[in-house]
């Protein structure tokens, strides 16, 4: 696990040493991704430069140092990630007499040997792992960027500057690109709209104009002769999901569980490969408990496990995690989160996430990473189980809601919606409180007015996809909040991939796998963990597991209202049902109460109307109305406000960084366009 950065194109220097100084400057911004070593390589004649920061996990010797050249000398690579089957790839190379004289044991060297023997696409198609890389082909004078199938590892890129001074920048994090003097810092208001809606900015978009995220499962090639990036797909999630659903597993349920356990056991075992201490995050839920159980089944010593707890009711799973750890015999450590932790972390979030990102579970994710790093260098996680095995409650809820409402004529539904929103939230909530004693427990809801108004917003949805978008959106009309904002189409809003043959629940699962998982969940975990120089691995994202999960009939995922049925059967072989079977909680935090309490002063500063008006990104009237309603307790706007606060905090940090540069000058005296 590492980080890298580089550039292709004209970057004039007054002295030879300035090129290395610039690479070091870019690399130093991502020191946290690779504190163990650094390496730099450049070819001034062709305008290509690669910088690398190393977090040593496999082959800690100098033989694993990067950037690394292939034995033929044709390819030079900067690589971030792990190839779990690289030893099998070496065997294939040896058997085909295509192997070089091996210099070390690193998977980077294996990739380079594969490039020489099979080409870049042929090698990547063989690889099982998580990765991002930049490789320069000295023969073709072409730069290729690559990213893993689901998007565990990040990779940003884009041209900056104009004409002969244009530079193609690329790297693991935006801060490395910003360190180059050609970077233009032009904020994309459409990307702000996306962040307001989702809490994240989905690929290929980034917060900056001209800078994109490489889409998962893709390779990109660019050269001075062909500056327009050429994007090719070597693995398509949409195609694999539709193909799996069209050709379902034909065995019995027992056989399906056997195959699934075997695949997961193999994936977990492969991801336990490390020359440094290793552990796992454990929430006590189905996904993380399965990963830990399969780890412990393959370990001769207690696995180190880590969990986060909350004192607030409705958020704490630490007791469940402790019970699972006790049953499996792991070496367990836990930390209870308090508001003071949030106050101490909030100022760090923007440097960690590098662009506006507002999934509030970023707070406990950082804390559990910080906790784990005190004991291990690698930690496995249970992410992706929900997307693969139908775990989110919203899948069933949305499907049932659509089944209920879509039979009614759309004009009538929209008329009813206007009637509901015509009565204030406060009035609905008061009525619900008066009626509560007369209603069964299942029909009593806190903040009933909020829920009715949100329900009214989706009642007029013309399709299931539109209904789902409404339910997963924070701001339903972000362009009305963002001044001069125009929201780009995404896979959830007008640019959906072809998902032929999938039913409603399957469509929601597929869209989450293509958007929410890589752009929210995996970003959250990668940045939080890597800020602590901790490598995280996700066994459920072994592409063989992903593809088999999509071959499972839906009845083996959702059975009699019980989600993750097949996965539960695997877990029950290792952990008693009584320790696992309970309502799903998720990895939430009491952010709404914290905004009214210990974080209130911070909120007041960032949401001050005069400040918002001066900065010119948001409608200050609409924003202040929501803040006052939330602060008073009349409404719960926690998610909408957290989105804005994370942007405001990010903007403040960028302004501070720019002032420091203006006051002290840049560290590298390179000509800028």
The burial of 113, by beta-carbon neighbours within 10 Å (0-12 exposed, 13-18 middle, 19 or more buried), is given as: buried
ω before 448 within 30° of 0 (cis)? no
CA 522 from centroid of its chain's CA atoms:
2
In the sheet with 278-281, reading across from the earlier edge strand, the strands are 331-337, 304-310, 278-281, 378-380, 535-537
CB 543 within 8 A of CB 125: no
How does DSSP assign 530-597, residue by residue?
A: HTTT-EEE-GGGSHHHHHHHHHS-GGGTSBTTBSSHHHHHHHHTTS-GGGT-S----S---HHHHHHT
Give the span between the Cα atoms of 533 and 536, in whole angstroms.
Answer: 10
Contact between 270 and 127 (Cβ < 8 Å): no
- In our burial notation (b when 16+ CB lie closer than 10 A, e otherwise), range 576-602 reads eeebbeeeeeebebbbbebbbeebeeb
Q: What single DSSP character describes residue 668?
A: S
Q: Nearest 5°: phi and psi at 226?
A: -130, 80
Find the catalytic residue in 2, 193, 390, 603. 2
CB neighbour class for 10 (10 Å; exposed up to 12, middle 13-18, buried from 19): middle
Backbone angles phi, psi at 223, to 5 degrees: -150, 170
Buried b (16+ CB within 10 A) or exposed e, 379-399: bbbbbbbbbbbbbbeebeebb
Kindly give, in sequence order, each residue whose CB lies less than 8 Å from that of residue 497, ignoring residues fewer than 6 positions away: 238, 491, 514
Q: Pick from 280, 247, 234, 276: which is nearest to 123 by CA?
A: 234
Identify the residue whose tokens are 């209904």.
467
Residues near 342 by beta carbon (within 8 Å), at least 6 away in sequence: 363, 589, 594, 598, 599
Question: Which of the 8 DSSP states describes residue 490?
Answer: B
What is the pairing mode between strands 167-171 and 156-160?
A: antiparallel
Nearest to 281 by CA among 318, 244, 326: 318
Structure-token match 């294939």, residue found? 92
DSSP 165: G
Tell the residue number behind the tokens 């195609």, with chain if given: 239
Are 564 and 407 contacting, i.e. CB atoms less than 8 angstroms apart? no
Q: Give bridge partners of residue 655 from the DSSP assignment.
A: none
d(CA 30, CA 650): 17
- φ and ψ of 14, to 5 deg: -85, -20
Helix 464-472, helix 504-514: angle, nearest 10: 50
Give CA–CA dist 28/577, Å, rounded: 48
Q: Identify whether 2 is a catalytic site residue.
A: yes
Specify whether the CB–CB gap between 581 and 285 falls below 8 A: no
> CB burial class (10 A; 0-12, 13-18, 19+) of residue 294?
buried
Active site residues: 2
């Amino acid at each position: 696990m590492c980080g890298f950065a580089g550039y292709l194109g004209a970057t004039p220097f007054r002295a030879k040493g300035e090129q290395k100084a610039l690479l070091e400057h870019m690399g130093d911004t991502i020191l946290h991704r690779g504190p163990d070593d650094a390496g730099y390589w450049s070819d001034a004649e062709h305008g290509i430069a690669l910088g690398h920061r190393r977090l040593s996990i496999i082959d800690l010797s100098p033989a694993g140092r990067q950037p690394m050249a292939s034995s033929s000398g044709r390819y030079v690579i900067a690589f971030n990630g792990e190839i779990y089957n690289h030893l099998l790839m070496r065997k294939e190379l040896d058997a085909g007499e295509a192997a070089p004289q091996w210099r070390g044991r690193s998977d980077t060297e294996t990739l380079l040997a594969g490039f020489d023997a099979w080409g870049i696409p042929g090698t990547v198609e063989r690889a099982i792992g998580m990765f991002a890389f930049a490789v320069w082909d000295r023969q073709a004078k072409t730069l290729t960027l690559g990213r893993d199938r689901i998007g565990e590892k990040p990779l940003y890129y884009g041209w900056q500057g104009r004409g002969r001074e244009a530079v193609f920048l690329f790297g693991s994090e935006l801060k490395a690109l910003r360190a180059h003097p050609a970077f233009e810092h032009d904020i994309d208001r459409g990307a702000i709209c996306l962040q307001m809606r989702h809490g994240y900015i989905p690929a290929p978009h980034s917060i900056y104009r001209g800078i994109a995220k490489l889409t998962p499962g893709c390779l990109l090639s660019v050269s001075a002769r062909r500056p327009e990036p050429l994007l090719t797909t070597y693995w398509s999630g949409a195609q694999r999901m539709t193909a799996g659903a069209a050709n379902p597993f034909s065995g019995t349920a027992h056989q399906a569980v056997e195959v699934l356990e075997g695949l997961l056991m193999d994936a977990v075992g492969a991801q336990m490969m490390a020359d440094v201490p290793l552990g796992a995050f454990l929430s006590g839920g189905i996904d993380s408990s399965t990963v830990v159980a399969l780890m412990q089944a393959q370990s001769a010593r207690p696995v180190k496990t880590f969990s986060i707890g909350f004192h607030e009711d409705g958020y704490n799973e630490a007791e469940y995690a402790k019970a699972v750890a006790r049953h499996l015999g792991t070496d367990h450590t836990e930390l209870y989160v308090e508001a003071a932790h949030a106050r101490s972390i909030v100022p760090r979030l923007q440097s960690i996430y590098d662009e506006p990102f507002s999934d509030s579970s970023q707070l406990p994710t950082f804390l559990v990473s910080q906790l784990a790093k005190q004991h291990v260098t690698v930690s496995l996680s249970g992410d992706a189980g929900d997307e693969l095995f139908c775990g989110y409650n919203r899948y069933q809820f949305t499907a049932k809601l659509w089944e209920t409402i879509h039979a009614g004529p759309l004009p009538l539904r929209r008329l009813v919606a206007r009637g509901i929103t015509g009565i204030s939230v406060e009035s609905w909530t008061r009525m619900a409180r008066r009626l509560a004693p007369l209603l069964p427990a299942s029909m009593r809801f806190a903040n009933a007015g909020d829920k009715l108004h949100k329900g009214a917003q989706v009642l007029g949805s013309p399709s299931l996809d539109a209904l789902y978008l409404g339910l997963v959106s924070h701001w339903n009309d972000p362009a009305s909040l963002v001044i001069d904002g125009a929201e780009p189409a995404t896979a959830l809003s007008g640019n959906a991939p072809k998902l032929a043959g999938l039913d409603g629940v399957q469509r929601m699962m597929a869209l989450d796998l293509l958007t929410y998982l890589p752009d929210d969940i995996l970003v959250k975990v990668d940045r939080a963990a890597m800020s602590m120089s901790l490598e995280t691995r996700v066994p459920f994202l072994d592409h063989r597991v992903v593809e088999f999960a999509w071959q499972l009939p839906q009845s083996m995922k959702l059975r009699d209202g019980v989600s993750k049925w097949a996965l539960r059967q695997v877990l029950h072989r290792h952990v008693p049902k009584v320790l696992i079977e309970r309502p799903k909680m998720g990895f939430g935090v009491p952010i709404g109460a914290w905004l009214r309490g210990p974080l209130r002063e911070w909120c007041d500063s960032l949401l001050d109307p005069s400040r918002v008006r001066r900065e010119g990104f948001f409608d200050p009237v609409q924003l202040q109305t929501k803040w006052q309603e939330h602060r008073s307790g009349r409404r719960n706007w926690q998610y909408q406000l957290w989105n804005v606060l994370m942007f405001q905090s990010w903007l403040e940090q960028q302004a501070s960084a720019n002032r420091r540069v203006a006051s002290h000058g840049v560290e590298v005296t390179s000509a800028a366009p």
